[in-house]
Amino acid sequence: MYRNTPHSISLHDYRPPEFLIDRVDLRFELDPERTSVEARLRLRRNPAATRGDGTLRLHGEQLDLEQVAMDDHPLTPTDYRVDAESLTLLRVPDRLTLLTRVRIHPNLNTALEGLYQSGDMLCTQCEAEGFRRITYFLDRPDVMARYGTTLVADRRRFPVLLSNGNRVESQDLPDGRHLVRWEDPFPKPSYLFALIAGDLSAVEDRFITASGREVELKIYVEPHNLDKCDHAMRSLQKAMRWDEERFGREYDLDVFMIVAVSHFNMGAMENKGLNVFNDKYVLARPDTATDADFEGIEGVIAHEYFHNWTGNRITCRDWFQLSLKEGFTVYRDQEFSADMGSRGVKRINDVRLLRAHQFPEDGGPMAHPVRPESYIEINNFYTATVYQKGAEVVRMQANLLGPERFRQATDLYFERHDGQAVTTDDFVRCMEDASGRDLGQFRRWYDQAGTPELTVAGDYDATSGAYTLTIRQYTPPTPGQVVKAPFHIPLAIGLLGPDGRDLPLRLAGEPSATAPGTRVLELREVEERFCFIDLTARPVPSLLRGFPAPVKLRFDYSDDDLLFLMAHDSDGFNRWDAAQTLLQRLLLGLVADPEAGIPEHFFDAFRRALLDPSSDRALLAEVLTLPSESYLGDQMEVVDVDGIHRAYMALGRLVGERLREDLLRVYRDNRETGPYAFTPEASGRRALKNLALGYLMRVGDAQALQDCQSQFAAGHNMTDVMAALRLLVDHGGAEGAQALDDFYRRWSRESLVLDKWFSVQATSSRPDTLERVRQLMGHTDFSLRNPNRVRSLVGAFCTANQVRFHAVDGDGYRFLADRVLELDPLNPQIASRLLKAMIRWRCFDPGRQALMRAEIERILASEELSNDAFEVASKALESR
C-alpha cells in the first residue's frame, strides 16, 4: 500500500453512545476569516450503554480550541487530550455541563463541509459528519438534542441570520453588530444543524396545514434572483399538501425556510426548518431553466421537505441505515412527482436512472447492499444503491402490502418511532406488524448487494392449452459476498392473446381465472414454475410490468414479440421497455456488424408510433429515444466505445432519412405557440419536437439546420434553446461557434445558465472536445472551487461523453486523474465522485484497462490523498 491505510468502520461494531446530550446552546460570532463558536452541552450518561473507561471523547476536526470548562470550572490541558479528530476529557461525572470555545475559518473551507463561505454569505453543510468541523460534539445521528443558537454578526454585511426552528430574539449590538437567537423545539441529530448569514432577500408565502395552523414559507436568495423563485414556492406548497393527503404528515414548526446557495457539494440538505439548497434546485424562469430543471426543482424541493418526517422526526441510528431516510424519501418524492405530472413517464425515467447508474454500481468494485456493512468514508455511500435501489425496496414493500395496508404501516412507523433514531429493520418490522406479512426473506434486499438476474422461459403446449413460465433467479457475486441466497421478488405479469388483449389468468390448481390484466407472482426460490391453463393459443408474456423489482430480465423475445408488445401491451412501461429492448438489439447488431441492415418492420413501427394521433407525446418521446451509448456499453461483455458510437450515429441518421417527412411534420405540429407552461402536456410536446429535430439534424439536412437556428434565435424558452444549441454544437462549423458566442454574450452573468454553456461543449461528440474542454478550464468563468462549474465541465465530459472520454489514447483518463489530484486537496467529496468515472475500468478492452489502471495507481500514489479518494481508488483496484 502507498500510504497508511485509513481504517474502515463496520456495522458490527455499532455501540450505543456512552453519553447523551439533552441540550446544546451555541453562540457564533460570525466572521469569514475567524468565527468563534461557543458551545454549552448538557450531557448525561446513557443508561442504555455499557460503561467505558470513564473518559468522554467528542468529535472535532480543524478546530482551534481556545477554552474548555466543565460545570463552570475552566479545565487545564492536563484534564483533556486533543488530537486531529477529537477532544477527550479524562475524568467526567455522570452528568455535566461542558463549555468549549473554538475558532474556525470559513473562508479557508474549500471542502464545503462544516461552516463555509459561498460568495458573500456564510452557510453550513453538516451531513454526514460536518458538525465536528464547527464544534466539539458527539457527532453521530443517534445523539438527538435540543438546540438554541445565537448568531452575532456585522449588521451591514450579514443582515439576515438564520438557523433551525423559530426565531425568538433579535437585537442590535454596539459596533454595528446584531444578534439573532433561534430555538428549535424538536430534538435533532447534529447533522441537521444549519446556519446562514448573508445579505439575502426572501420570497414569502404561507401554508395552512390540515389542522388549520399557519406556516410562514420563505425562500431566501440573492436579491437578483428574486424573480426565479415562483416555481420553487409552488412546488413547496404542493409538496406540503400532498404529504398531508398521502401520508397524513403535517408540518410542525411555524416557519419553513429554504436558502439557495451557489457553492454546494450536492443537491440540497434537509436541515430542520432551514433547508439549504444548491441554487440549481431553486432558481427557475422559463428563459433560464429547462423542463428538466423545472422537474428537478419540484422533485428536490419535495424530497427535502418530506425529510422533515422521514429523516428528521425519525432519523437514522447510524450511517449504515442511511437508506432508512433516503430510500424512503426518494420513494415519497417519486410518488409525489408521479401524481403531479405523468405517472408513466415518471416511472420510465426513474427506471432509466436506476439502470444507468445503480445497475453498473451494483456490478462494479464498489457494489454494496442498500444497508452497507462497512465504509472508510461515509460520503462515498450517498449512492444510487442507497437512494434509488433503496426506493425500489420500499416500493416493493408498498406493492406487496397494497395501498391501504402500506398506509397503515407507515402510520405505525411514524407513531412508533417519532423522535427516535432507528434502523431499516425497525422500518420493515412496522411493515410486518401492520400487515401480518412475514418479510423475513424480503430483508435480504437490504443486506445482499448485486442485481438479481431473472431468466425466464415460456413453453406453450397446444394440446393441453397450458403455458408454463420457468423462472430462475441468480445474483452474481459482489465484493465480499460470493454466495447469494434467493430473494423474495414480486413479479407483475400479464399474458397477451393474439388480438393484443390481456388474457384472464388461471394457474393450474386454481378453481377459476382472475380477470384479464396484471397479476403479481411472488418468487422465493432459485427456480420456480408457473403453469397457466385454459389458453387457446401461444400467448406473448408481458413480464415485469411497471418494473416491480430492481432486477434484470432475460427472456428470448423475437423481434415480432417485441413489436407486438410495443403496439399492444396494456402496461405503458412495458410498451416503452419493449421498444428499448428492440432498439438495443438493433444497435448492438450494428456494433457487431456495421453492414447489418435495419429490418423494414422497425421503420414501420417507428412511423406508426410517430403518427398515432391518440398517443401521449411525452410517452412517445420516451419510446422513440435511443438508449444511451453508455447504457449500450453496459450490455456488452467488453465495451466497444467506437463501435457503439458509430452504430448510434448510423441508426440516428437512418431514422432521420427514412422518416424525414413524418419527423418534419411532427416538428412543425408541435412547435411552441403560446407562452411557456410547465405542464406534462406542454413539456411532452417540446420533448417530442426536439427529438424529431435531433433525428433530422443527423441527416445533415439544410432545412433542419435552418429550423434549428431559428428555434435557437427565437429563444422561446430554455428547453428549446438548449435543444437547438446542443444540436448546433454537434453540427459544428460556423453555425455552432456562432450559437455558442451568442449564448455566452446573453447569459454570461447567470451562473446556472453558464453551466449549461460549459456542459453543452463538454458533452459534444465532436472529435476535438477534450481539447476544447482543456481550453475551457482556463476560461475566466471557470473555477475549481465551484462544484456546479466543475460538474458542468469536468463531470459532464467524464461521465456523459463515453466516446470522447474513453478515447483510445487515454488522454481522457489523464485529464481526469489530473483534475482529481488537483481537486482532492480542495474538495475531497467532489474529487472522489469524479474518480468514480473510472471505477468500471475492467469493462473495457485490455488497452484501455491498462491506461485507466495506470491513472488510478497514479492517484493512489499521491502522498496526501483524502480518505474519500483513497477508498474509491483502492477499491477500484482490489482483485475480484
Catalytic residues: 304
HSE (side-chain half, CA atoms, 13 Å) at 282:
26
Give the one entry of ligand B3K, Zn ion, none that residue 266 binds, where binding means its C-beta sits below a cut-off of 5 to 8 angstroms depending on kind.
Answer: ligand B3K
Give the one entry of ligand B3K, Zn ion, none that residue 127 binds, where binding means its C-beta sits below a cut-off of 5 to 8 angstroms depending on kind.
Answer: ligand B3K
CA distances from residue 746 to 139, 236, 706, 757, 758 in whole angstroms, order as listed: 46, 30, 21, 11, 14
Cα 498 → chain centroid: 41
Residue 379 or 683 having the CB closest to Zn ion: 379
Residue type, 736: G
Residue 180 or 269 having the CB closest to ligand B3K: 269
Instruction: Confirm or reject binding of residue 326 to ligand B3K (CB under 6 A).
Output: yes
Q: What is the DSSP code string of 624-648?
A: TSPPPHHHHHHTSSS--HHHHHHHH
**Residue listed under C-alpha cell 388474457:** 503
Q: How far is the CB of 631 from ligand B3K (least distance, A)?
A: 25
Give the one entry of ligand B3K, Zn ion, none that residue 291 binds, where binding means its C-beta sits below a cut-off of 5 to 8 angstroms depending on kind.
Answer: none
Q: Tell me how far apart the alpha carbons of residues 161 and 158 are, in angstroms, rounded to a whole number.
A: 7
Q: How many residues bind ligand B3K (CB under 6 A)?
A: 12
Phi, psi values for residue 261, rounded to 5°: -120, 155
Residue type, 123: C
Q: Which long-range contacts (CB under 8 A, 24 or more apart) does 668-671 make?
A: 670/617
Residue 301 or 644 having the CB closest to Zn ion: 301
Question: Binding ligand B3K by CB under 6 A: which of 270, 361, 701, 750?
Answer: 270
Residue 690 or 829 having the CB closest to ligand B3K: 829
Q: Tell me how far apart the alpha carbons of residues 496 and 502 are, in angstroms, rounded to a whole number.
A: 5
Nearest to 777 by CA among 795, 764, 765: 795
Give the one entry of Zn ion, ligand B3K, none that residue 717 binds, where binding means its C-beta sits below a cut-off of 5 to 8 angstroms depending on kind.
Answer: none
Contact 767, 811 (CB under 8 A): no
Residue 127 or 392 having the CB closest to ligand B3K: 127
Q: How far is the CB of 280 from ligand B3K (least distance, A)?
A: 13
Contact 428, 394 (CB under 8 A): no
Residues 104 to 163 in contact with ligand B3K, rule: CB under 6 A: 127-128
Binding mask 72-111 for ligand B3K (x = CB under 6 A): ----------------------------------------
Residue 413 or 467 having the CB closest to Zn ion: 413
Q: How far is the CB of 116 from ligand B3K (least distance, A)?
A: 14
Residues 210 to 269 in contact with ligand B3K, rule: CB under 6 A: 266, 268-269
The DSSP symbol for 63 reads: -
Q: Tell me how far apart the alpha carbons of residues 425 and 394 are, in angstroms, rounded to a whole number.
A: 12
Question: Binding ligand B3K by CB under 6 A: which of 150, 334, 337, 379?
Answer: 379
Nearest to 755 by CA among 289, 299, 296: 289
Contact 297, 284 (CB under 8 A): yes
Residue 701 or 868 having the CB closest to ligand B3K: 868
Instruction: Confirm or reject binding of residue 389 to ligand B3K (CB under 6 A).
Output: no
Instruction: Confirm or reject binding of residue 303 to ligand B3K (CB under 6 A).
Output: yes
Residues 441 to 500 in contact with ligand B3K, rule: CB under 6 A: none
Contact 736, 767 (CB under 8 A): no
32-62: b or e for each residue (b if 16 or more CB lie within 10 Å)? beebbbbbbbbbebbeeeeeeeeebbbbbbb
Q: How far is the CB of 318 from Zn ion (least distance, A)?
A: 17
Q: How far is the CB of 41 from ligand B3K (least distance, A)?
A: 24
Q: How far is the CB of 382 from ligand B3K (least distance, A)?
A: 5
Nearest to 722 by CA among 299, 286, 350: 286
Q: How far is the CB of 303 from Zn ion (least distance, A)?
A: 6
Q: Tell me how far apart the alpha carbons of residues 534 and 351 are, in angstroms, rounded to a whole number.
A: 34
Residue 271 or 329 having the CB closest to Zn ion: 329
Among the residue ranges 137-145, 302-310, 394-402, 816-824, the one whose residues contact ligand B3K (CB under 6 A): 302-310
Q: How far is the CB of 325 from Zn ion (least distance, A)?
A: 6
Among the residue ranges 301-309, 561-569, 742-750, 840-848, the one whose residues contact ligand B3K (CB under 6 A): 301-309
Q: Tell me how far apart the alpha carbons of residues 69 and 477 are, in angstroms, rounded to a whole number.
A: 53
Nearest to 373 by CA among 268, 450, 271, 446: 446
Question: Binding ligand B3K by CB under 6 A: which of 279, 298, 304, 392?
Answer: 304
Q: How far is the CB of 191 from ligand B3K (least distance, A)?
A: 8
Among the residue ranges 303-311, 426-434, 737-745, 802-810, the one whose residues contact ligand B3K (CB under 6 A): 303-311
Instruction: Confirm or reject binding of residue 689 to ligand B3K (CB under 6 A).
Output: no
Q: How many residues bind Zn ion (CB under 5 A)?
A: 2
Residue 684 or 787 having the CB closest to ligand B3K: 787
Residue type, 367: A
Give the one entry of ligand B3K, Zn ion, none that residue 658 binds, where binding means its C-beta sits below a cut-off of 5 to 8 angstroms depending on kind.
Answer: none
Question: Binding ligand B3K by CB under 6 A: which of 182, 309, 336, 382?
Answer: 382
Give first-to-last CA distance, the chain, whole Å: 17
Contact 193, 231 (CB under 8 A): no
What HEC string does 109-122 produce?
CCCCCEEEEECCEE
What HEC string does 280-321 produce?
HHCCCCCCCCCHHHHHHHHHHHHHHHHCCCECCCEEECCHHH
Among the residue ranges 229-237, 281-289, 325-333, 851-859, the one whose residues contact Zn ion (CB under 5 A): 325-333
The DSSP symbol for 450 reads: S
Residue 292: is it exposed, middle or buried by C-beta count within 10 angstroms (0-12/13-18/19+)? middle
Residue 140 or 772 having the CB closest to ligand B3K: 140
Residue 410 or 717 having the CB closest to Zn ion: 410
Q: How far is the CB of 9 from ligand B3K (least distance, A)?
A: 15
Instruction: Confirm or reject binding of residue 868 to ligand B3K (CB under 6 A).
Output: no
Q: How far is the CB of 308 from ligand B3K (least distance, A)?
A: 11
Give the one entry of Zn ion, ligand B3K, none that residue 382 binds, where binding means its C-beta sits below a cut-off of 5 to 8 angstroms depending on kind.
Answer: ligand B3K
Residue closest to ligand B3K when measured from CB atoms: 127
Residue 386 or 838 having the CB closest to ligand B3K: 386
Residue 2: is it exposed, middle or buried by C-beta count within 10 angstroms (0-12/13-18/19+)? middle
Residue 326 or 569 having the CB closest to Zn ion: 326
Q: How far is the CB of 262 from ligand B3K (least distance, A)?
A: 17
HSE (side-chain half, CA atoms, 13 Å) at 462:
2
Residue type, 74: P
Residue type, 518: T
Give the one entry of Zn ion, ligand B3K, none that residue 269 binds, where binding means its C-beta sits below a cut-off of 5 to 8 angstroms depending on kind.
Answer: ligand B3K
Q: How far is the CB of 267 from ligand B3K (least distance, A)?
A: 6
Contact 89, 55 (CB under 8 A): yes
Instruction: Confirm or reject binding of residue 318 to ligand B3K (CB under 6 A).
Output: no
Residues that bind Zn ion (CB under 5 A): 326, 329
**Using CB under 6 A as the criterion, which residues of the chain lie in contact with ligand B3K when the complex forms?**
127-128, 266, 268-270, 303-304, 307, 326, 379, 382
